Amino acid sequence: MKKWVPAVSGLAAGLLAATVFFADFSSGPSGSASTDTANKNKSNAEKVYVPFGEKDEYYLMASGGHSGQMFVYGVPSMRKIRTIPVFSPDSATGYGYDQHTKEMLGNYTWGDLHHPAISETNGEYDGKYLFATDVANSRAAVVNLETFTTRDIIDVPNTSGPHCAAFVTENTEYMFLPTRFAVPIGSKYESLDDYSEKYRGVMSAVTFDEKNEKLNIAYQVALPPWSYDLSDAGKKMSKDWAVMTTYNTEEATTNLEINASQADRDYIVLFNWKELEQKVKNGEYEDVDGQKMIFPEKQKGGIYLVPVAKSPHGVDVTPDGTRFIASGKLAPAMTVFSFEKAFKAIENKEFDGERNGIPVLKYESVMEREVNPENALGPLHTQFDDKGMAYTTMFISSEIVKWNPNTGETLDRVAVQYSPGHAAAAEGDTVSPDGKYIVSLNKLAKDSYLSVGPSHPESMQLIDLTGDKMEIIQSAPVDPEPHYAQMIKADKIKTIPIYDIDKKNPAAVTKAEETRIERKGNEVHVYGLAMRSKFIFDAKAKRPDVIEVNEGDKVFIHLTNVDLDQDITHGFGINKYDLNMEVQPGQTNTLEFTANKAGTFPLYCTNFCSALHQEMTGYLLVKPKK
Amino acid sequence: MKKWVPAVSGLAAGLLAATVFFADFSSGPSGSASTDTANKNKSNAEKVYVPFGEKDEYYLMASGGHSGQMFVYGVPSMRKIRTIPVFSPDSATGYGYDQHTKEMLGNYTWGDLHHPAISETNGEYDGKYLFATDVANSRAAVVNLETFTTRDIIDVPNTSGPHCAAFVTENTEYMFLPTRFAVPIGSKYESLDDYSEKYRGVMSAVTFDEKNEKLNIAYQVALPPWSYDLSDAGKKMSKDWAVMTTYNTEEATTNLEINASQADRDYIVLFNWKELEQKVKNGEYEDVDGQKMIFPEKQKGGIYLVPVAKSPHGVDVTPDGTRFIASGKLAPAMTVFSFEKAFKAIENKEFDGERNGIPVLKYESVMEREVNPENALGPLHTQFDDKGMAYTTMFISSEIVKWNPNTGETLDRVAVQYSPGHAAAAEGDTVSPDGKYIVSLNKLAKDSYLSVGPSHPESMQLIDLTGDKMEIIQSAPVDPEPHYAQMIKADKIKTIPIYDIDKKNPAAVTKAEETRIERKGNEVHVYGLAMRSKFIFDAKAKRPDVIEVNEGDKVFIHLTNVDLDQDITHGFGINKYDLNMEVQPGQTNTLEFTANKAGTFPLYCTNFCSALHQEMTGYLLVKPKK
């Protein structure tokens, strides 16, 4: 039985004196009458069960929040298949320990990965790459989906938390990375009393060089010192455009909970990236610490502000590219804006003055419809199905509302447990969503699962969209913290079974005869191999699996996995030296360290590889200084 | 249809010229005829589905291998509920970042967590604590199950990889932590030519002080320089005893794959911990670097060797405590030994000489039965059900064999996917297993799930033991690497909903008026609080959510979460300073760092906490040196 429970919400304390929770504790997630429960559960169980021999239909690529990593799930089973280490080290895969990944991570030990984006071709997920940004330490990364490994990480200067990203344009021409926090350019020290003059909200236009698997900052835009929250790229008729929400256009410098919620309207930044690209080609920018920086108040054009209900959290472009929908988390409404109207308003200069040198479009000239489903509170993000219908998460009333963007009509509602942030629909950010599933990414699980102490897991709930009504069919606890996810058809991902040994890599060896230990001064280079079930560092030595060095030596252990057999990964750990790396079939990796502790240190394969895995060991002997 | 597939096994290459895989690709995991598959899957789906409003029946506490962490699953849904950070930092929970957990981790960035053990009272899991050991950096840890947090970590000296642990005695008096790798005492540098004389296989007897939540090494035993693989504690009639398997009793120093597999027999070490305890009380030990070390060749008694089929991997004590079962991974047999026979043999001195000063019991005097199910290859570990029946994992033939320890009769077999290491039965290591479920912890998943590149997840498969035949009812991919798990009834775990604010802690504050920033020389102490949706560091300041310090200052941020509401956890990250900590409801934690970068650094709540979470921000301003 459904009931409306009026309650003073702890969640929204200080925001709304009383809110309404859409609670449905008595009859399971789908709100069916209790007599139907057994049957409904039976059918839901079958819907999500993937027996051995079958595979999930979709990959769900989910952000791992302040874990810094990406999480890969299968849909509909909602089983987590893999953690892809991106912004934080991961000893389970040796990520951040071998020379290459250690260098890629720099000295950072964590990240806060918010919004993953799959690369697109013609507005469809192409399954080739996955992009992500780090709010904590202002970075961007790209993951190759042939191998599910991170290939490049870049720092994004002049920015503090590219939260707003990543969303790619229709052919992965750009990702736009605006800052969540305004900072002085170069992040240098400036008093907050000078906030409006000295701070900026810089956006970076990032490109991806697929051949070299490198990210690159094409140009930056010094936007006003506001907070930029979420963005989306245009599609089809709006493909040259992108939109971003802002908050704290009040330019408050303290207690944002209250001070950033004063103005009735914040803005959506609407910009034409083709025009900005041309501007850069024309030299209309300033060089700032090596970055091509557009200052909108000086290099005018291509950027507009659209007033929007206060403190919006999300903005989403419809699959047909005709509209963008923003939700004001402090105003209980979704607003539908028309690209066509916006283009006309720009042409006709229907402006309401400027903010910080950027023209403000008249709200009425761009707005098409305000939608306010009864008692739906805290609208955040919108996804779409194959019919163009919209699904908006309601953070405060803990539900997903299905509605028609063409009419504003509310079509269906489903209670989720609890407080959804984003939702992710099947192929949801493409020009052709599938309409089969949507996953609600919930911030709080509370009593949903077995208790694990004062802090509970978050949750993801899978919703079946194929019936008359939305129906929750599975609920999966997740580690912190599901911000956003994209769901891609499984057959679009083409992984490789093994690596080819890179014979051009001087660190690689292909057979035992090539293994050797070379000393150059106090540098020791080990060219070794791993194979079931032994390490060979120097086949000619009395003990081929022993490395002996002197205290203080700089040691490079180059290791190639010559087991060219799918799934036979070897690890390489050295006891008490706090080192571990992984070599997947065919891979060569290097561990670099200084032998600063004298003594006897066993080394071993850390990744179970065969019946004699336990015997795959050796020793590092470090001879003490005289 | 089942078929026996003879194949030269890549897995066992170099071990056995030809092995037999028990393959069953045609009809699903349970081996049912294909016409039954649809129905069977339907019923399996229902068996594992836990709808909203219901909870899982068991917690599965699983090792996270070289991730260094513990993974908590629900059974039967096999959903992963939580990662408990233990031996590696975890930015998702701020573990290893705040002062307390950073100190607890020392300078280690990872661990290799192998065998978890739940604390026991009268031989039953009591649900209070969880112990674990780190093979990589030789540590032991204890996790409190009221809060699912790690409370203590100790280094285990003279040891290199306490792989063999942890298993607790009937009333959690001891855990025994023998070394996997023999090393010289003190891990000092010694030539491998002197292996037999200079290296030792030290075992540590570890106790737990529950009141202070501290682990302690009671004494150590300098066993011969062999590898110690797995241990188990006695039960009931054998409760004062413990057993451990060994390999490399050949004392080989290179290429263990071959050289540690020469002798037909290795040994089980059988010891009476009450007698060793008494020995220590009597002063029969030597002081070695502050450890009370028993040298068995000098302080004789209480320790015996039992010959066993070569290179055993596991030894398990039956629930009634009358027998211990060892499996020789290179000999396709399980051997049942009798404690009663062993006690008599000891009494009657039925010895076959000594090895390294330790009496060797006659094999025939202790052995009760050798069990060799047809074509079952690579027996590793054994669990038990409520009827006393045994379930042994077969690594090479990829199956679990059910058999009767009293008769040796094979009762049932089920193919698993693939290469199981341990299995974990419901309440499986207690004196009274439940018999309902067993989980197979498989080392290789290969094609079981959607592909994630050359390295696949491992897997855990849930097996229903309630029917006539064992039946696999769920398969869960897992991150590296499931070594062992224990399954405990859900109602035995009693978590706390929130922490009480520790008013005796001088770093804690309870209300805004108590917040303050104090400077002592170049040390700055911030006494702040977190509450939805703001930070208050100094309520009297112009900007209470801003911390300003000088470049080079040592900064201590003490933060208390005053939201005493279940599941409302706050995070605290500082942009580009690579810092993040967590405060659960009521908790106070401290972040300590040197402000070595001048500039403007936004700080923010990293853990989604309310509708205005996005506004829960502030700044760290670091004024540059003149």
Q: Which residue of A has its CA nearest to B563?
A: A10
What does the pLDDT read at residue A555?
Answer: 98
Q: Distance (Å, rounded) from C-alpha B421 to C-alpha B324? A: 18
Q: Does A123 touch chain B (CB under 8 A)?
A: no
Q: Is residue B561 very low, low, confident or very high in pLDDT (cuts 50, 70, 90)? A: very high
Question: Would the CB atoms of A567 and B136 count as touching at under 8 Å?
Answer: no
**Residues contacting residue B371 through CB under 8 Å, at least 6 positions apart:** B333, B334, B335, B336, B403, B405, B408
Q: Which residues of B touch A160 (CB under 8 A)?
A: 575-576, 600-602
Q: Which residue of B has its CA nearest to A498?
A: B454
CA distance A491 to chain B (A): 9
Beta bridge partners of A351: A361
Beta bridge partners of A378: none
Question: Would the CB atoms of A498 and B12 count as touching at under 8 Å?
Answer: no
The domains found in chain B, sorted by start residue, are 512-623 (2.60.40.420)
- Share the mean pLDDT of chain B: 92
Q: Which residues of A touch B602 (CB under 8 A)?
A: 160-161, 180-181, 183
Question: Would the CB atoms of B477 and A79 count as touching at under 8 Å?
Answer: yes
Q: Which of residues 386-425 of B touch A (CB under 8 A)?
A: 395-396, 417, 419, 421
CA distance B520 to chain A (A): 23
Question: Would the CB atoms of A496 and B453 count as touching at under 8 Å?
Answer: yes
Q: Which residue of B has its CA nearest to A60?
A: B450
Q: Which residue of A has its CA nearest to B449?
A: A55
Write the residue in A14, A254, A544 that is nearest to B533 by C-beta: A14
Q: Which of residues 319-338 of B touch A (CB under 8 A)?
A: 329-330
Q: Distance (Å, rounded) from C-alpha B537 to C-alpha B557? A: 9
CA distance B27 to chain A (A): 8
Phi-psi region of B251 (alpha: psi -120 to 50; beta: other; left: phi over 0): left
Question: Would the CB atoms of A91 and B83 count as touching at under 8 Å?
Answer: no
- Share the mean pLDDT of chain A: 92
Q: How many residues does chain A have?
A: 626
The residues of chain A scoring below 70 in pLDDT are 1-42
Q: Does A564 touch chain B (CB under 8 A)?
A: no
Q: Is residue B166 very low, low, confident or very high in pLDDT (cuts 50, 70, 90)? A: confident
Write the residue in A10, A452, A616 that is nearest to B495 by C-beta: A452
Q: Which of residues 575-614 of A touch B (CB under 8 A)?
A: 575-576, 578, 580, 582, 584-587, 598-602, 604, 606-608, 610-612, 614
| DSSP code for A479 | S
CA distance B120 to chain A (A): 19
Q: Is residue B164 very low, low, confident or very high in pLDDT (cuts 50, 70, 90)? A: confident
Q: Which residue of A has its CA nearest to B47?
A: A45
Q: Which residues of A touch B15 (CB under 8 A)?
A: 533, 610-612
Q: Which of residues 442-481 of B touch A (CB under 8 A)?
A: 443-446, 448-458, 472, 475-477, 479-481
Q: Distance (Å, rounded) from C-alpha B182 to C-alpha B227? A: 6
Q: Distance (Å, rounded) from C-alpha B624 to C-alpha A188? A: 9
What does the pLDDT read at residue B328?
Answer: 78
Q: What is the ipTM of this complex?
A: 0.93
Query: Does the pLDDT value for residue B282 go beyond 50?
Result: yes
B291-294 and B214-223 strand pairing: parallel
Q: Which residues of A touch B393 (CB under 8 A)?
A: none
Question: Would the CB atoms of A567 and B446 count as touching at under 8 Å?
Answer: yes
Q: Which residue of B has its CA nearest to A620?
A: B189
Q: Which residue of B has its CA nearest to A611?
A: B12
Give me the phi and psi of B534, to 5 degrees please: -155, 160
Q: Which residue of B has its CA nearest to A417?
A: B52
Name which of A578, A105, A64 is nearest B91 in CA terms. Answer: A64
Question: Would the CB atoms of B187 and A601 count as touching at under 8 Å?
Answer: yes
What does the pLDDT read at residue B43?
Answer: 82
Q: Which residues of A touch B198 (CB under 8 A)?
A: none
Write the residue in B80, B443, B544 that is nearest to A477 by C-beta: B80
What does the pLDDT read at residue A164?
Answer: 87
Question: Would the CB atoms of A623 and B189 count as touching at under 8 Å?
Answer: yes
Question: Would the CB atoms of A580 and B112 count as touching at under 8 Å?
Answer: yes
What does the pLDDT read at residue A331?
Answer: 78
Q: Does B102 touch chain A (CB under 8 A)?
A: no
Question: Would the CB atoms of B79 and A13 count as touching at under 8 Å?
Answer: no
Q: Distance (Å, rounded) from C-alpha A162 to C-alpha A182? A: 11
Q: Does B550 touch chain A (CB under 8 A)?
A: no
**Residues contacting residue B54 through CB under 8 Å, at least 6 positions apart:** none
What does the pLDDT read at residue B42?
Answer: 54
What does the pLDDT read at residue A18?
Answer: 32
What does the pLDDT read at residue B170?
Answer: 98
Q: Distance (Å, rounded) from C-alpha B303 to C-alpha B305? A: 7
Q: Which residue of A has its CA nearest to B531?
A: A13
Query: Does the pLDDT value for residue B9 go beyond 70?
Result: no
DSSP B207-255: EEETTTTEEEEEEEEEE-S-EEEEEEE--GGGTTEEEEEEE-TT---S-
Q: Does A227 touch chain B (CB under 8 A)?
A: yes
Write the residue in B495, B584, B600 that is nearest to A187 by C-beta: B600
What does the pLDDT read at residue A626?
Answer: 82
What are the structure tokens assigned to A598, written together? 């004298």
Q: How many residues does chain B have?
A: 626
SS3 B146: coil
Q: Which residue of A has its CA nearest to B149?
A: A453
SS3 A3: strand
Q: What's the distance, Cα to Cα, between the start and end of chain B in Å? A: 80
Q: Which residues of B touch A53 (CB under 8 A)?
A: 25, 28-29
Query: Does the pLDDT value for residue B20 go beyond 80?
Result: no
What are the structure tokens assigned to A68, written together? 């810094």
Question: Would the CB atoms of B192 and A543 count as touching at under 8 Å?
Answer: yes
What does the pLDDT read at residue B32?
Answer: 38
Q: Span B24-38, mean pLDDT?
A: 39
What does the pLDDT read at residue A26?
Answer: 35
What does the pLDDT read at residue B329?
Answer: 80
Q: Which of residues 372-391 of A touch B (CB under 8 A)?
A: 378
What does the pLDDT read at residue A25?
Answer: 34
What does the pLDDT read at residue A42?
Answer: 54
B617-623 and B546-550 strand pairing: parallel
Q: Which of residues 341-370 of B touch A (CB under 8 A)?
A: none
What does the pLDDT read at residue B7?
Answer: 35
A279, A301 Cβ separation under 8 angstroms: yes
How many residue pairs from chains A and B have C-beta atoms closer than 8 A? Answer: 480
Helix (H) or strand (E) holding A272: strand A265-272
pLDDT digits (tens, 9 = 90+) for B34-71: 444 444 455 899 999 999 899 999 999 999 999 999 99
Query: Does the pLDDT value for residue B28 go beyond 50?
Result: no
Q: Distance (Å, rounded) from C-alpha B228 to C-alpha B179? A: 6
What are the structure tokens assigned to B55, written together? 């909870």
CA distance B92 to chain A (A): 4
Q: Which of residues 256-285 of B touch A (CB under 8 A)?
A: 256-257, 260-261
